Amino acid sequence: MSEKMSVHVDQLREGAAALSKNGADPKGGRIGAGDLGSARADAAFEQFDSYWSAGRSAIVHTADALTTALLSAADTYSRRDGDDAKGFSGGSRAF
């Protein structure tokens, strides 16, 4: 944790844009039974494919969630700045 908090909202939005530019996980071709060799090769392919298709999905979903979180944080901070601005313009009593 940092003791002092600072934020540049534009940077957050820029980060969100950069994070979302990679898009979805590209779709793969269809591999049929026996295409890659004997049953041994088929089994190894199945293992790899199921292991990493879940992993790739998690990475993509996390990136999406992080993008959303970044935009949401930027909105929250922007609202705060707006609230602060309203507070300052509310009257001289604030000073």
Q: Which stretches of the chain bind another protein, using CB under 8 A? A: 1-8, 11-12, 14-15, 18-19, 21-22, 25-26, 28-29, 31-32, 34-38, 40-41, 43-45, 47-48, 51-52, 54-56, 58-59, 61-63, 65-66, 68-70, 72-73, 76-77, 80
For CA atoms 85, 90, 91, 92, give the dihedral sign. Answer: negative
Q: 52 or 88, CB closer to another protein? A: 52
* Structure tokens given for 85: 């601005």
Q: What φ, ψ does residue 33 adopt, rounded to 5°? A: -60, 130
Q: 44 or 85, CB closer to another protein? A: 44
> Least distance in Å: CB of 72 to another protein?
6
Please count the other Cβ atoms lying within 10 Å of the Cβ belonging to residue 70: 20
> Least distance in Å: CB of 89 to another protein?
19
Closest CA to 8 of 77, 79, 85: 77
